[in-house]
Structure 1
Amino acid sequence: MATRYGQGYGDWDGPESPGAGGRLHRLPAALRAPIEGRSWGEFVYLVLSLPIGIMTFTYSVTMFSLGAGLLVTFLGIPVLAAALAGCRGFGALERARARGLLGLQVADPEPLPIKRRGAMAWIGAMLKSGTSWRHMLYTVLQFPWAVFSFTVGISFWVTGWALLTYPLWFWLFPMYAGQDGLLLYGDETRGIYLDNPFEITVTVLVGLLFTLTTPWIVRGLTTVDRLLVHGLLGPSRLATRVVELESDRGVVVDTAAADLRRIERDLHDGAQARLVALAMDLGLAKEKLAEDPQAAARMVDEAHGEVKTALQELRDLARGIHPAVLTDRGLDAALSAVAARCTVPVQLEVDLPSRPAAAIEGIAYFTVSELLQNISKHARASRATVDVWRVEDRLLLQVVDDGVGGADAFGGSGLAGLAGRLDAVDGILVVDSPVGGPTRITAELPWRA
């Protein structure tokens, strides 16, 4: 099972041709392209683009011209708002069309930021929305491109299939047109017709070439449509980044709250309970000091052992918050200590030219710590390796074990929580853990020195 936490506008996510099954995919891509569902979906998209482009372009230009002409009066403002609202509706239609025919997944843009109720608030929000103006720009740019791509796509598609199937229908010419075949060249004195077997064979081969080439031409044309839809009809980069930061902030807050609850629980159930018992033992020893000094001495000796245990628990708790060795000596020394405590032999290699930002260093430390803890508890491995290195401005960690595999990276598992913590700082977690092993987990973090 491979999982990556972290959409491309060029990815195909639509259906394949029905009934093709695995047999279709045994053919080379160049041969199966003309009969693939993807190719026909892209061709239908080009065919529909022209009438839709005429309609949206006419609407946008007409409404914008009307609104701009009426700006000398108050009526121009609501007309422009209505024009933008209509363009947003066309944008929703185009996103659905691209999703169904191109397999392009584009998220809906951010809603209008309407802060109060009323028609004037709606008009103001519509006119100030950059998303609305991008939708209108799409209707203007899409129309000339639709004319070009429709012309090119239809020309190549019809020419290819017509020439490829010429042996099936060339008998129409002598029967209904009174000529020997398709006229290739003609003037007042003579004409050249495609009518003998050699010429028909060459025609079919040319048609086959056109037919095999056309899907790739259509795919190139629809790539521009993908760019237009993705760039102008989806959410803006700023809005997407704001949503990501809000989500990451929520993850950070939740993680910090969970850490505080864990520290409080460890203090309450561990060191605090032990210190309370220690205070009671010392009180009893004080009472017995006069009447039974030997018993009091034994109780003080036991209390001394309890003090050592409480100190060790406090040190472990402090190490869980942020180990001193990490602050003083960096990842190499801190991870060496973690590897030494693992129940399986760990080979550690840290190749870092310098130290990353303190926050990134801490996240890297706790990531490796949790992964090694998972190996100790669940992997049933005989050995593990940990590699830490830097690539440009990214810090990479990789933990590999030869255990049973099948690590669950979804649901409420620890790996899912770890992925959320990395995502909060623009990190990525990649889990490759097939059943039977081995398990390879790679984490990528920004350097931020």
Structure 2
Amino acid sequence: MATDYGQGYRQDYGPDHGLGLPERGLPEHDGGRRHRLPAGLRAPFEARSWREFGYVLLSLPIGIMLFVYALTMVSLGLGLLVTFLGIPVLAAALVGCRGFGALERVRARALLGLEVAEPEPLRMRRSGFMAWIGAVLKSGTSWRTLLYAIIQFPWSLFSFVVALNVWVYGWALLTYPLWFWVFPMWAGQDGLQVYGDETRRLYLDSPFEITMTALVGLLFTLASPWIVRALTTVDRVMVHGLLGPSRLATRVVELESDRGAVVDTAAADLRRIERDLHDGAQARLVALAMDLGLAKEKLSEDPQAAARMVDEAHGEVKTALQELRDLARGIHPAVLTDRGLDAALSAVASRCTVPVEVQVDLAERPVPAIEGIAYFTVSELLQNISKHARATRAAVDVWRVENRLMLQVVDNGVGGAATSGGSGLSGLAERLDAVDGILVVDSPVGGPTRVTAELPWRRA
């Protein structure tokens, strides 16, 4: 899911809550080396530019071979459709195109650095040769690779001609001062001829003309990597769109993964509730029943002892009721249902071990499912602050941006939080991902920690 963080996080993530923390935003990383030359001057000498140029040069022979194969096999298959042989030949043509597609993904990864996932495999409901043929013909991947084989050839021809001419002419003109002497020595003319007829000929032979030729070549040389990059951008789009998994198949895989996460989360919640009931309220009620039974036996023999036991049982009843209230609050708090996120989060913040400022800016309420996930997300983050952050202040901010519900929890603790390593934050990130949500953690060692969650907005 693509998300516009520039808008999604309320213009630099909104107010700073007086915590003395830096502006809200994603951490910036300088992922590459610092270069003395600007990108425009070093591009002709970079390995990336030469790899992209090599990709364009290879595309033409590969495109010719792929186009000839696809056109021949498909034509043969269509021509043989009047007989039974046409269907297997057409299926073989599609399978061959799928094989070429796999090689093209490898080439794009090696030369363009383009990572394209494997498309969805053939779905066969039963085994057998006819079932395999049917799966090949029904597969959208097969027909997309055939389309790639057809349109890649004319594009590869165009890009080959453009890239080769721009690249060769650029370097040839740039280096013209080094080799122009070839013409008077070996060709019997003053220099490179740019015009000639029966009465007049124009050569590039004066120092000024040689210098201008080199400058023109320099412009072509500097522009050629960007022209080639623009050409390979079209190749990237074709490889990604036609040789990778379809958006529908990708979405199905995501939904299957999310469904598994939801099922696991629900099972874990049920186990937690069962454990809390068994180890908490249930055990306390069993002990209470035993105490009341003993008090009943002692009522006639030792009324004072029985009264003390009843008084202790009364205290146990209060404790059991409190545990049941806490358990019910952990399942779904009544204040969230009755009064919404503002009141519910304020109640959670009041139980945190550090002072928490809560700001909820919502004109209307989302659906109960999203509202519940938002509540438990903030609740778990505040619990982490109480247990691990060693903070003195924290802030919770909730707002809406278009069709997204944004949550942010900030503390001035020791930092070092991460979603890796099977931590509680990783489980929280999986829960959010199950509903198309996102969790972003910015927690450098030494603090502060800023956790931003994004959920889909659905009206109640």
Alignment TM class, shorter chain as reference: over 0.9
| CA-CA distance at 1:41 after TM superposition | 1.4
Query: In the alignment, is the contact (CA less than 8 A) between 1:5 and 1:428 conserved in 2?
Result: no
- Tell me the TM-score normalised to structure 2 length: 0.92
Query: In the alignment, is the contact (CA less than 8 A) between 1:5 and 1:430 conserved in 2?
Result: no
The corresponding residue for 1:406 is 416
Query: In the alignment, is the contact (CA less than 8 A) between 1:5 and 1:429 conserved in 2?
Result: no
C-alpha distance after superposition, 1:97-139 (max 9, x if no partner): 1111111111010111122222111111111111101100000
The corresponding residue for 2:295 is 285
Matches within 5 A, 1:9-408: 22=33, 25-408=35-418
Matched residue of 1:290: which SS? helix
Structure 1 stretch displaced more, 312-321 or 408-417:
408-417
Matched residue of 2:451: which SS? strand
2: CA distance between counterparts of 1:332 and 1:72? 71
C-alpha distance after superposition, 1:53-85 (max 9, x if no partner): 000000000000000000000110100000000
The corresponding residue for 2:13 is none
Higher relative CO (Cα under 8 Å, sequence separation at least 6) belongs to 1
1: CA distance between counterparts of 2:416 and 2:209? 62
The letter of the residue matching 1:311 is: L
2: CA distance between counterparts of 1:431 and 1:333? 25
Counterpart check, 1:426 vs 2:436: yes
| CA-CA distance at 1:5 after TM superposition | 11
| Consecutive unaligned residues in structure 2, runs of 5 or more | 4-31
Structure 1 stretch displaced more, 189-198 or 213-222:
189-198
2: CA distance between counterparts of 1:132 and 1:26? 48
Matched residue of 2:301: which SS? coil
Query: In the alignment, is the contact (CA less than 8 A) between 1:396 and 1:443 conserved in 2?
Result: yes
| CA-CA distance at 1:383 after TM superposition | 0.8
Structure 1 stretch displaced more, 177-186 or 246-255:
177-186
Structure 1 stretch displaced more, 352-361 or 378-387:
378-387
| CA-CA distance at 1:179 after TM superposition | 1.1
C-alpha distance after superposition, 1:264-292 (max 9, x if no partner): 11111110111011001000000000011
Structure 1 stretch displaced more, 74-83 or 29-38:
29-38
| CA-CA distance at 1:193 after TM superposition | 1.3
The letter of the residue matching 1:117 is: S
| Consecutive unaligned residues in structure 1, runs of 5 or more | 7-20
2: CA distance between counterparts of 1:194 and 1:403? 71
Counterpart check, 1:447 vs 2:435: no
Query: In the alignment, is the contact (CA less than 8 A) between 1:381 and 1:403 conserved in 2?
Result: yes
1: CA distance between counterparts of 2:132 and 2:319? 66
Query: In the alignment, is the contact (CA less than 8 A) between 1:91 and 1:135 conserved in 2?
Result: yes
| CA-CA distance at 1:382 after TM superposition | 1.4
Matched residue of 1:184: which SS? strand
- Tell me the TM-score normalised to structure 1 length: 0.94
How many aligned residue pairs are there?
431
The letter of the residue matching 1:438 is: P
The letter of the residue matching 1:202 is: M
1: CA distance between counterparts of 2:131 and 2:141? 17
Judged with a 3 Å threshold, the aligned counterparts in structure 2 of structure 1 residues 383 and 242 are, in CA distance, closer, same or farther, namely: same
Judged with a 3 Å threshold, the aligned counterparts in structure 2 of structure 1 residues 134 and 5 are, in CA distance, closer, same or farther, namely: closer
2: CA distance between counterparts of 1:231 and 1:79? 26
% identical equivalent positions: 82
The letter of the residue matching 1:372 is: L
2: CA distance between counterparts of 1:310 and 1:22? 62
Runs of 4+ in 1 over 3 A off after TM superposition: none
Query: In the alignment, is the contact (CA less than 8 A) between 1:383 and 1:401 conserved in 2?
Result: yes
The letter of the residue matching 2:148 is: Y
1: CA distance between counterparts of 2:44 and 2:444? 36
| CA-CA distance at 1:168 after TM superposition | 1.5
1: CA distance between counterparts of 2:2 and 2:283? 41
C-alpha distance after superposition, 1:308-336 (max 9, x if no partner): 00000000000000000000000000000
2: CA distance between counterparts of 1:27 and 1:313? 67
Counterpart check, 1:438 vs 2:445: no
